Every structure is written in C-alpha cells, then in structure tokens.
Structure 1
Amino acid sequence: MGHRTEESMDTEEIAFRSLSSSNHHNFPHVHKVGVPPKQTPWKEFSAMLKETFFADDPLRTFKDQSRSRMFVLGMQAVFPILDWGRSYNLAKLKGDLIAGLTIASLCIPQDIGYSKLANLAPQYGLYSSFVPPLIYAFMGSSRDIAIGPVAVVSLLLGTLLQNEIDPTNNAVEYHRLAFTATFFAGITQAILGILRLGFLIDFLSHAAVVGFMGGAAITIALQQLKGFLGIKKFTKKTDIISVMQSVCGSAHHGWNWRTIVIGSTFLAFLLIAKYIGKKNKKLFWVPAIAPLISVILSTFFVYITHAEKRGVQIVKHIDKGINPSSVNKIFFTGEYLLKGFRIGIVAGMIALTEAVAIGRTFAAMKDYQLDGNKEMVALGAMNVVGSMTSCYVATGSFSRSAVNYMAGCQTAVSNIIMSFVVFLTLMFITPLFEYTPNAILSSIIISAVIGLIDYEAAILIWKTDKFDFVACMGAFFGVVFASVEIGLLIAVSISFAKLLLQVTRPRTTILGKIPRTNVYRNIQQYPEATKVPGVLIVRVDSAIYFSNSNYIKERILRWLTDEEEKLKRDGLHQIQYLIVEMSPVTDIDTSGIHALEELYRSLQKRSAQLVLANPGPVVMDKLHASSFTSLIGEDNIFLTVADAVLTCSPKFAEEV
C-alpha cells in the first residue's frame, strides 16, 4: 500500500484520527503503563543470576544464624540424614526394614544380570548395590528412590566401553576404563549439583526420554536372546538387524532346547507374578520376590540334573567378599583418560536424568519437596566413591523404587537395609550362584525392561503434540536400528531442534473482541470474536530476541498486508492502527527493539500507527531506556487491549 497524504484521506477518516488523538483526555479511566524503577546494572545482573542458579535461595536458611548453628545447618544440608534422623523411630524402621528386604530380593538377581549388560563379571553388579546405596542414604533427599545398577545405563556403558576396549581379550584395561568412566560420571553429576546447573538435564524432553527408554528396552531384551536361547557365538552389535541375523544364523546349531525350556518357563512365571502384582497392589511382594525364587529354583534344578553338561550355560564363579579398592585402577593419565571422561559424561547425564525423574515422581506422590541439586551432589558423590570401590555407574531404579514405595518405605534407611543384605550375599552366599543358568538372568532382565516400553505415553504424545511424537520415534528407532549412543544423539538433537524452532518461529495470532465483553481472544479459537474496524490486533506469544525478531516483524507485516488486501476487495477502510498485545512477551533485546523500530517506520509509510498493549516491566524498562517509547509516543502504550481499542476506535468499543 502506498503512502497516503492527509489530502488523500476522506473527511470521515480525518475526523476519526482527530478524535483518536485526543482520546486520552476524553477517556480518563484509560490507565497508563508504568515504567519500573531503574536498577543498577549490578543489582539487575545479580538478580538474574540468583533466579537462574539460586531460585530456591539456599542461603536463606543461614541468615541471622550463629556460627555453630550455621555449621549444623551446613552439615544437615550436605547430609540430610542428620536432619530427618532425629525423628526416626521404630514405626519407620518397620516400614524401611520390610521395604529394604523386599528390594534386596529383587536387586540381587537383577544386579548379576545387569553386570553382563555392562560386560562385567557378576560380582560388579553386587558391588554397585552395596557401596553407592550407603552413600546415597546419608546424602540423598529422596525417601523412596532405590539405588543400584539399571538396565539402560548398564547397556549404554557396556556399548560405549566395548567400542574402545575388547572386554574379553583385554579385561583388565576394560575394567579400568569402566571405573574411570564411573569416576567422571560422578564428577559430572556432582559439579552440576554444586554449580546448580540441574536445569541442563531438562533439555532432554519427556518425549525423547520415552522413545529412548522404549528403544533401549527392546535392545536390551534382544541382547538377552543369547542367554535365553543358549547361543554361544553372538554379535557384539546392538542394532536389531545384527541381532536377528546372529539369532537366525545360529538357529540350526547354536540353540539349546534345555536352555529355552528353562528360560521360557521362568519368564512366564515372572510375567504372571508381575500381572498379579499389578492387579492387586497388596500383592506387590509377589513380583518383587519372583526373580529370587526363579534363581533359587532354576539353580537347584541345574545342580541336581547337571544340565550344564548338556549345554546349559551357567554363571559359574562369582568372587566372594566385599568391594576391593580400585583407586589405583582409574586412568588419571594416558590415552584412556579422555575416553573415560567422554563416556562418563554421557553415562552420568543419562543416569542423572533417570534418577531425578524417578525421585520427582515419588516425591509428588507423597507430597514432599525434592531438592534436585542435592540429589545431583548425592548421586555424584556415590558414583565417585563407587568408582574407587570397584563399582560401575549406579542410579535410581524405577522398578526397585516402585517396589520400595509399595512396600511402605519411610526413609532412605531402606537403601541401608538393602545394602546390608547385599553385603551378606557377597560375604557368604555368592558360591551358591555358581549353577545359576544364564537363561534365568535373561528372563529376569526381559521381564524387568518390559515396563520401560511405555506405549500409552507414546499414544498420548501422538494425540498431544506431533512434533514431540517425531522426537519420541526418532529416539526409539535410532536405538533399535542403530545403537544406544545414536539413539541418544537423535533424542538430544530433536529436542534441541524443537526448542530452536519454537524460539525462532514463535506463534503470532490475530485477536478479536468477544461480544458483550472487553475480552480479546484469538479469532481462530473463538469464531464469534469480532475484528475492530480500522484496527488490527496481533498478539506475540514469545519473548522477542535476535533469533526471532526479524521473523516476528515480517509475520506481523504479512498479517497486515493480507488484512489490507481483504479490506480493499470489500471496499472497507484500511488499517489505521496496529495494536500489538505484548503480555506474553517476557523479555526483549536490542535486536527486538530494532525490529519494533523498523515495524514502526513501515507502518508510518502506510499511514498507520503502532500501538502497544500491556508490555511487562522488563520489556517496558528496555523500551524506555532505548527511547522507543518516545519514538512511538507514550500515549500509544496502553495497559490493556481494551484500553487501546477504546482510544483508537471508541465508537466500536462502545457499541460491541
């Protein structure tokens, strides 16, 4: 539309503009937008840092306290057990004792199986359920989370480690790299907690986590076909194509029917036990003790029949005794230092994401607050200590935590009880596992990881957000058809892509007035909403930054052009006012202000006026500091859209 002079305007339009220019005096109830008091740069910067890193204000507890009291509070902050331990009683011990014994019966057979996922000897899984839970019990803030090795992290760690060192031909170096990765996983977790950077794990979206976990569950289950079918030569790759080729290639000579019978029988038993526990919550203990019962019965059966002589693969020897020191086995120099650091960061972040998600879930169910940063420090500390005591990466286990919760745990003492049972197992019972068939461990792992396939969540994601579903499926297929690390990379990449897309392409909508109200809403959502003659009202649903400012300006101008072309076809008056509703605009930078200035100049060429409605205090402060308010005139900034319309189109505001 070309530039219109006052001479080219008709009499009615000139009168309308004259009336509008004096409307602030005619409508005294139209409120002005205030400019917040100016803050010093340091105060503004410190406030931003405090909100980003110290939103929960942890130093508030120490305010106006004596030195001795500050020391006590500091110790309680690091070791929460010193706080809640003072009110501990026999009633709580009863609940923790039952829960601890129950999760111990579940964790022992799981740990032996999970260690195989990490390509480690069975005792390392038990080691990782002895020391880390003890450390966490003293430092963690969750009452319900159960600590130990988990399937996804075990598989991820095993996959990444074997890409660097062959676990069979170079077992000593492989173990050293595993301890090194565990050490740096703990360091990563602790640093994130100390620096209060826990928000970084939120960049992995829920949809991506659902897809990643589901894909990892299928990959883990496929890996168990080696033990389930009794295959001796099995691929080291984790993708579904390689695994199925390995399974089918060994069908004629590599399968052992006795192993299949054992695995199938007890897998059916475990699934039935899980079904019973799901149907009747009071029978939660049935699926919890089913794995241990399976191990005992299958071990006894193999022992009395000597099935190991007929091709049934067994666990064989498990080292007796508690965790040996591994401080001198960690790579602090050499070529494997950087590799251990890289693997540790990846494994540590995944372990942290799973643990925090589990902790938050059960904290919400019991209605108590969980300090995410304390959790990270506790998880980091336990993995650092664990790396020095022959453990690999441990975290919160959802299956054990669910059993812990249903068993009536009261505090983290249930982890101590579980740890004590594992200690007794390491000291006295490990020789009894010698004849445990590998098929039963595979069955236990398959039954455990089935719960990670959350198809209901995937369906809900599809119904709610199609882009989220793409992220979910991308992570899922990446894990299943490529590898765990590829799936993880896809999950992170799609999560970031979605974030960047939302930041760079925010939504803008045209608003209309709901009849018989002063409310203005999206005309697509509310078809009855009426457009204001001569006025275009646009809402920007995002902060305006350098990344999206040019897009927002161009999108608003496209709205304006489309609207003017439509009005021209209908022979109606052109747009005289553009009202930008800015209540969703939480912040604006210099690029955003520059885009608004360009928008203002473009409107001037169209003989239209830019009007702002309801800018927030941060936005208003920056607009005022940049003199933008002087450019468009402070009389063109209003508290609400209704006030702006009342001034720009008083006849419409009164009639509609």
Structure 2
Amino acid sequence: MGSNRVEDEGGIGSAVSSRRHADNEPYKVGVPPKQNLFKEFKFTFKETFFHDDPLRPFKDQPKSRKLLLGIEAIFPIVDWGRRYKLSMFKGDLIAGLTIASLCIPQDIGYAKLANLEPNFGLYSSFVPPLIYAFMGSSRDIAIGPVAVVSLLLGSMLQEEIDPKNKVEYQRLAFTATFFAGLTQFALGFFRLGFLIDFLSHAAIVGFMAGAAITISLQQLKGLLGIKTKAFTKNTDIVSVMRSVWTTVHHGWNWQTILIGVTFLAFILFTKYLAKRNKKLFWMPAIAPLISVIISTFCVYITRADKQGVQIVNHIRRGINPPSLDDIHFTGSYLATGFRIGIVAGMVALTEAVAIGRTFATMKDYQIDGNKEMIALGTMNVVGSMTSCYVATGSFSRSAVNYMAGCNTAVSNIVMSLVVLLTLEVITPLFKYTPNAILASIIISAVVGLFDYDAMVLIWKIDKFDFVACMGAFFGVVFISVEIGLLIAVSISFAKILLQVTRPRTAVLGKIPRTSVYRNIQQYPEAAKVPGVLIVRVDSAIYFSNSNYIRERILRLLADEEEQLKANSQQRIQFLIVEMSPVTDIDTSGIHALEDLYKSLLKRDIKLVIANPGQVVLDKLHASDFANTLGEDKIFLSVGDAIMTLAPKLEP
C-alpha cells in the first residue's frame, strides 16, 4: 500500500487528489475568479510592511485602553513594569553590577578606538542604556559602545578631521551619532527593517572576523608601548605591521609589554575557566576591572609612568555635558556626518538586532524588530545631544547579562547608575591606569568575534557564501574597515542578483511504483517518460531571468533531442513545464513563455504547464496566454498531464 501511495505535488489538497484518482480522470484546472486589484495591493502592502499586524491589539478597545496600549507600544516598560516583582530585582541587580564591572574598563578602551577621550565611552554607557530600558523590547541586550562600531567610526572620522583637533573631531562624532540614530529611527518608523537582512550572515561573519584582527593589531600600539606619533593611522595589516617592526628598537617598552601580556593572559585564562564551567561566568566579567585596579595600583606605587609606561592620565569628572550645539546641522560637515552616520548606524543596528534575536530565541520570547530600531535610534539621537557617540548592543556584555540571570531591562538601568557613580566619584582614580591594560581588555573582548566554526560551516553549506565571507574578511584586514564593509554588501547583493537572474532548473522523471516526479539528478532511479520532457523552474519568472529561463529550457530540450537521436529513441512531442515553485510571473515572463511556445511550434512540440499557482494562473489568463496555449494544456500536476497526454503520444 505504501509503494502505491500518490503524493499531492502541488499542495492543492488531499480531497482533490483522492477524488481525481478515485474517478481515474485528471482534475481540470479552470479559470480562476478575478482578483480585486485593491485587495491584492492591500494584502501585498500589509505583508511587506505590517505583516505583524501592529494594530490588532487596538481593535474593539475603548479609547482609554487604546491610549494605554499606545503608550505601551512606545514604552514597553509600562507593560512589563506593571508585572515586575521584587523577586525579579535580585537577578537584575546582580546582572547590572556584573556588566557594569565589565563595561567601565571596556568603555575607556573603546573610546580610544574611536579616537575620543575616555570619558565619552563612559558617557555612552550612561544615557543610551537608560533610554533603551524604557523603549527597548529585549530583556537581555546590554547597551553601550562596541569595538567594531568604535573602530569604524574612528577610522572614518580621522579621514576627515585630525583627532588632534579635538573640538572639531568631537563635533563631527556627535553629528555622525545623530544621523546614525536618525537612520535607525527612520528604518523602524517606516518599517523598513527588512533592509538590514540584505547583509548576509556569511558577510557579517567575515566582516566581524576581519574587524577582530584589525582591532587586535591596532592594540599592539598600547600593548607594546609604542607612542602614537610613531604609529600609523591606517588600519590595514601591512601598514600596522610595518609600524610595529620599524619601532622595535626604539619604540617598544618592556615594562608596558610585561603589564599588557600578563593581564591579557589572566583575562583569557578566566574566559577559558568560564567556558569549561558555566557557573564561573562572573570571572571573565570582573577580570577586566580587577586588572585595571591592580595594574593602576602597581603603576602608581612604582611610578612606572616615569619609565615610559603610557597611562590614561586625566579623565574628566562629572556627568554628560550637553552637546546639541556641537552638532553640525549646516555647513560643509553636514553631508560628511550624514554619510558616516548612515554607515555606522546600519552596522550598529545589524549587530544589535542579531544579538537581540539570539537571546530572545534562547529565552523563547519575541522582540519587535521595528520597535528595537526606534528604541536604538532614539537613544542615539538623545545620546548625540548628551556627549555620547554611537551605542548599540554589545555581544560580550549581553552574554554576561544573560548568564548573570537578568530578568528585564532593569539590569541596564543598574549598569547606567553604576556608570553615573563612576563618572561622579571614581574617574580620578583611573589617572594611572596603563594603556596596555586597555589594549589587553579590548583584545580579549574581540577574540570572540572571530568565529572559526561558523566559517567552516559556511564553507560546507554554500561556497558562494564562503566567498562573501572571505571577501569581507580580507577587505577589512588588507584594505580598511569601510572597504571590507562595502565588499560584504556588494557580494551579498551579487549573490541575490545571481540567484534571481540565474535560477535553477531541473529535468524531472517518474519515481518507480509511484506517480511522483522528481529531479533525475537527485533521484537517479527516476525514469524519463518517452516522448515527454518535464522541466521544473525553481524560481519566480521576472524580467531579470525570463530570457535565461527560456534559453535554458531550449538548451535542455536540444540536449535531450540530441541524446534521443543518437540512441534512435522516440522524439520529444510534449514539453511540460512544472511551475509549482514559480511564485510569481511578470510581463517579461509571459512574453518568454509566448516565445517558448512559438519556438516549440516550429519543432512540432506542444507546450504544457503543470501546477501553476493562483498568482501565476491569474496572469496567464489575464494576458490571454492561457487561451493561446489551450486550457487543455494546463494541468493540476505532472501526473495528470502524463495521464492525459499518454494516449496522444506517437509510437
């Protein structure tokens, strides 16, 4: 019984399939009812921009309830805050204190990556996390500066203004941050978040890995004690290594190397222990702060700064000063800030959304991508007005936040308050912190960005994806961060274009003892039907690929005819195009089918279509091609077509 089972190839329904075979007659595909153009456009628009139906909760609700739902939509904290319990605060408090101990030394180091003073890194972990806690929908994401965005921002800004010109450099940084936030907000407000999906996972893996190498190489300056003047401003590996080796005899400082390497080994060892034992997650979280405290104390009592060990020096005390007046809303730097802001904002958004989705999946809850973008955009716009630079979700801090048992975004509030306390009280204590420690912290933080296992998996799954991954990686490492990002985007788009313009086609054969027709390459036992060539098109047919599909089908036909002629077998009399994967067709696609039909007529071969979807069938009838072809040439399935055509085949 199992061997004689008939499968419904088009997914049209078991009732149709059973009735058809009970009567032993093929089911006729009739003319579909005309679709309402307005309803069709409305459905398409809704699925593109409002597939999650954000207005559903508001239906049939009183005005007071609608107002509350509207407030909750903008500020999710109003929703979950009503259900917040004191028992939940313990987890949020521990998580907040843990990520604060990690973020403080990281923020100082990341600010240096962006060529900004250390206090700007701390500013960016004070205001933005507070804004996000009220507007964000993720429970686990930890907000603040991150290494990749800091490096990207710093490398792009220094191409326009020398970091030594601190005032103008900071103004451009605030301007870029403002437009980064505006870009993120606009994408969420206009529900265009799907645009960030055009940057493929493979390209992101390669970009992040390249950025990890570049960031680590940049930290050799601090780790070896090389003075800034003697070190290149370029980020490519050749320039950096040249700067390192040309200063080996007169620029390296052995005390700095000892401090940096010792504490780098300590931090990496705590990460290793935490990886072996998940209960020790807190060790790599507090290791950077412990390293800062111990190294700062050692430098202070030994006055190693007098021996050439470079230190942080003065960090401005106090909370964020306003910076609205520093943003370029006019002038020559407006366009520059806009351009840098869009790039930095998109990279920051991609990282944050990926992190948010990852932890939401782990805890089995949903995040609203568009709300996330609005929250991230708002916090960066406000941040640009309060002396912050681009902030986003940090993977290392978010992982610690998750492992520490956070329950809600209150952990971000706790972290923000600890940073506030640091800004008001503790910053003078960082004066003797050696730069080598900050370099060690940054290197240890970006090690996780190099995902070797993901690269191996990409190679196994899709070679073209691996090309995109390696293109982004080598672009970042050997040229620059911006070029690497551009290569990543370009290869991602190239892959999309290639898949759209060169879709797969397959010749089908009949699986023995069934009425199922499948790809003969996938199923070598599948037998071709004498006198019939069955071709499946595995893509929608648009102007971009219609000519290729027509030519591809004709090439398959020519190859088949040549093979049959050589073996003195029955010639091809019918060409069946199986269209179940064809989700849509446009005018160019219809014209391609018409041209195919005319070409086949000249060869005395009849064109048959099997299993077209509703959208395709509508357009075949609207264009009158169905009448040209003949309704007796459109079938529910390949099996039905063969059943009908079999008596018409010439011996």
Q: TM-score range by the shorter chain?
A: over 0.9
Q: Please report how far the alpha carbon of residue 573 of structure 1 lies from its aligned counterpart in structure 2 after TM superposition.
A: 1.3
- Counterpart residue number, 2:429: 432
Go from structure 1 to structure 2 and tell me whether the alpha carbon gap of 1:55 and 1:34 turns closer, same or farther (over 3 Å shift). Answer: farther
- Counterpart residue number, 2:189: 194
Supply the AA of the counterpart residue of 2:532.
Answer: V
Equivalent residue of 1:537, what SS?
strand
Counterparts of 1:441 and 1:650 in 2: how far apart (Å)? Answer: 81
- Counterpart residue number, 1:581: 578
Counterparts of 2:34 and 2:406 in 1: how far apart (Å)? Answer: 52
Do structure 1's residue 246 and structure 2's residue 238 form an aligned pair? no
- Counterpart residue number, 1:520: 517
Q: Please report how far the alpha carbon of residue 532 of structure 1 lies from its aligned counterpart in structure 2 after TM superposition.
A: 0.4
Counterparts of 1:529 and 1:310 in 2: how far apart (Å)? Answer: 79
- Listed as ranges, the matches of 1:287-306 within 5 Å are 287-306=284-303
- Counterpart residue number, 2:224: 229
Do structure 1's residue 475 and structure 2's residue 491 form an aligned pair? no
Whether the 8 Å contact between 1:123 and 1:318 is mirrored in structure 2 is: yes
Counterparts of 1:33 and 1:54 in 2: how far apart (Å)? Answer: 33
- Counterpart residue number, 1:171: 166
Do structure 1's residue 502 and structure 2's residue 499 form an aligned pair? yes
Counterparts of 1:305 and 1:219 in 2: how far apart (Å)? Answer: 33
Do structure 1's residue 203 and structure 2's residue 205 form an aligned pair? no
Q: Please report how far the alpha carbon of residue 34 of structure 1 lies from its aligned counterpart in structure 2 after TM superposition.
A: 4.5
- Listed as ranges, the matches of 1:487-566 within 5 Å are 487-566=484-563
Question: What is the TM-score with the length of structure 1 in the denominator?
Answer: 0.95
- Counterpart residue number, 2:445: 448
Match of 1:605 among 602, 612, 618: 602
Supply the AA of the counterpart residue of 1:50.
Answer: K
Go from structure 1 to structure 2 and tell me whether the alpha carbon gap of 1:274 and 1:316 turns closer, same or farther (over 3 Å shift). Answer: same
Match of 2:150 among 141, 145, 154: 154
- Counterpart residue number, 2:89: 93
Do structure 1's residue 42 and structure 2's residue 57 form an aligned pair? no
Counterparts of 1:571 and 1:298 in 2: how far apart (Å)? Answer: 86
Alignment deviations for residues 18-68 of structure 1 (CA, whole Å, 9 cap, x no partner): xxxxxx999763112344432332222121111100111111111112222
Counterparts of 2:179 and 2:252 in 1: how far apart (Å)? Answer: 40
Supply the AA of the counterpart residue of 2:403.
Answer: M
- Listed as ranges, the matches of 1:24-63 within 5 Å are 29-63=25-59
Match of 1:383 among 376, 380, 389: 380
Whether the 8 Å contact between 1:532 and 1:649 is mirrored in structure 2 is: no
Do structure 1's residue 123 and structure 2's residue 119 form an aligned pair? yes
Match of 1:134 among 130, 133, 140: 130
Q: Please report how far the alpha carbon of residue 641 of structure 1 lies from its aligned counterpart in structure 2 after TM superposition.
A: 1.1
- Counterpart residue number, 2:12: none
Counterparts of 1:91 and 1:217 in 2: how far apart (Å)? Answer: 39
- Detail structure 1 runs of 4+ shifted over 4 Å in the superposition: 24-28
Counterparts of 1:182 and 1:518 in 2: how far apart (Å)? Answer: 61
- Per mean C-alpha deviation after superposition, the further-off stretch among 41-50 and 484-493 is 41-50
- Counterpart residue number, 1:78: 74
Counterparts of 2:31 and 2:159 in 1: how far apart (Å)? Answer: 59
- Listed as ranges, the matches of 1:276-315 within 5 Å are 276-315=273-312
Counterparts of 2:104 and 2:94 in 1: how far apart (Å)? Answer: 16
Whether the 8 Å contact between 1:102 and 1:407 is mirrored in structure 2 is: yes
- Listed as ranges, the matches of 1:363-378 within 5 Å are 363-378=360-375
Do structure 1's residue 397 and structure 2's residue 377 form an aligned pair? no
Whether the 8 Å contact between 1:27 and 1:647 is mirrored in structure 2 is: no
- Counterpart residue number, 1:102: 98
Counterparts of 1:473 and 1:279 in 2: how far apart (Å)? Answer: 30
Go from structure 1 to structure 2 and tell me whether the alpha carbon gap of 1:36 and 1:78 turns closer, same or farther (over 3 Å shift). Answer: farther
- Counterpart residue number, 1:9: none
Supply the AA of the counterpart residue of 1:161.
Answer: L
Supply the AA of the counterpart residue of 1:155.
Answer: L
Counterparts of 1:497 and 1:34 in 2: how far apart (Å)? Answer: 40
- Counterpart residue number, 1:219: 214
Counterparts of 1:434 and 1:367 in 2: how far apart (Å)? Answer: 44
Equivalent residue of 2:580, what SS?
coil
Alignment deviations for residues 236-277 of structure 1 (CA, whole Å, 9 cap, x no partner): 000000000000000000000000000000000000000011
Supply the AA of the counterpart residue of 1:332.
Answer: F
Go from structure 1 to structure 2 and tell me whether the alpha carbon gap of 1:28 and 1:209 turns closer, same or farther (over 3 Å shift). Answer: same
Equivalent residue of 1:512, what SS?
strand
Counterparts of 1:550 and 1:51 in 2: how far apart (Å)? Answer: 29
Q: Please report how far the alpha carbon of residue 69 of structure 1 lies from its aligned counterpart in structure 2 after TM superposition.
A: 1.3
Go from structure 1 to structure 2 and tell me whether the alpha carbon gap of 1:52 and 1:258 turns closer, same or farther (over 3 Å shift). Answer: same
Go from structure 1 to structure 2 and tell me whether the alpha carbon gap of 1:26 and 1:329 turns closer, same or farther (over 3 Å shift). Answer: closer
RMSD: 1.3
Alignment deviations for residues 422-470 of structure 1 (CA, whole Å, 9 cap, x no partner): 0000010000100000000000000000000001100111111111000
Counterparts of 1:200 and 1:34 in 2: how far apart (Å)? Answer: 39
Match of 2:179 among 184, 208, 211: 184
The runs of 5 or more residues in structure 2 that have no matched partner are 1-19
Percent identity of paired positions between Structure 1 and Structure 2:
78
Go from structure 1 to structure 2 and tell me whether the alpha carbon gap of 1:406 and 1:651 turns closer, same or farther (over 3 Å shift). Answer: farther
Counterparts of 1:588 and 1:651 in 2: how far apart (Å)? Answer: 30
Go from structure 1 to structure 2 and tell me whether the alpha carbon gap of 1:420 and 1:453 turns closer, same or farther (over 3 Å shift). Answer: same
Equivalent residue of 1:511, what SS?
strand
- Listed as ranges, the matches of 1:311-322 within 5 Å are 311-322=308-319
Q: Please report how far the alpha carbon of residue 88 of structure 1 lies from its aligned counterpart in structure 2 after TM superposition.
A: 0.3
Alignment deviations for residues 145-190 of structure 1 (CA, whole Å, 9 cap, x no partner): 000000000000000000000011x110100000000000000000
Match of 2:636 among 631, 635, 639: 639
Go from structure 1 to structure 2 and tell me whether the alpha carbon gap of 1:137 and 1:25 turns closer, same or farther (over 3 Å shift). Answer: closer
Do structure 1's residue 463 and structure 2's residue 423 form an aligned pair? no
Counterparts of 1:302 and 1:266 in 2: how far apart (Å)? Answer: 13
Go from structure 1 to structure 2 and tell me whether the alpha carbon gap of 1:26 and 1:286 turns closer, same or farther (over 3 Å shift). Answer: closer
Go from structure 1 to structure 2 and tell me whether the alpha carbon gap of 1:570 and 1:429 turns closer, same or farther (over 3 Å shift). Answer: same
Equivalent residue of 1:243, what SS?
helix
Supply the AA of the counterpart residue of 1:202.
Answer: D
Alignment deviations for residues 67-122 of structure 1 (CA, whole Å, 9 cap, x no partner): 22111111100100111111100121111111101000000000000000000000
Equivalent residue of 2:415, what SS?
helix
Alignment deviations for residues 587-630 of structure 1 (CA, whole Å, 9 cap, x no partner): 00000000001111111111111111111111111111111110
Supply the AA of the counterpart residue of 2:198.
Answer: F
Alignment deviations for residues 518-539 of structure 1 (CA, whole Å, 9 cap, x no partner): 1111100110000000000000
Counterparts of 1:454 and 1:48 in 2: how far apart (Å)? Answer: 38
Go from structure 1 to structure 2 and tell me whether the alpha carbon gap of 1:568 and 1:124 turns closer, same or farther (over 3 Å shift). Answer: same
Supply the AA of the counterpart residue of 1:515.
Answer: P
Counterparts of 2:98 and 2:25 in 1: how far apart (Å)? Answer: 68
Q: How many equivalent residue pairs?
A: 628
Whether the 8 Å contact between 1:35 and 1:617 is mirrored in structure 2 is: no
Equivalent residue of 1:610, what SS?
strand
Counterparts of 2:335 and 2:567 in 1: how far apart (Å)? Answer: 69
- Per mean C-alpha deviation after superposition, the further-off stretch among 572-581 and 122-131 is 572-581
Equivalent residue of 2:55, what SS?
helix
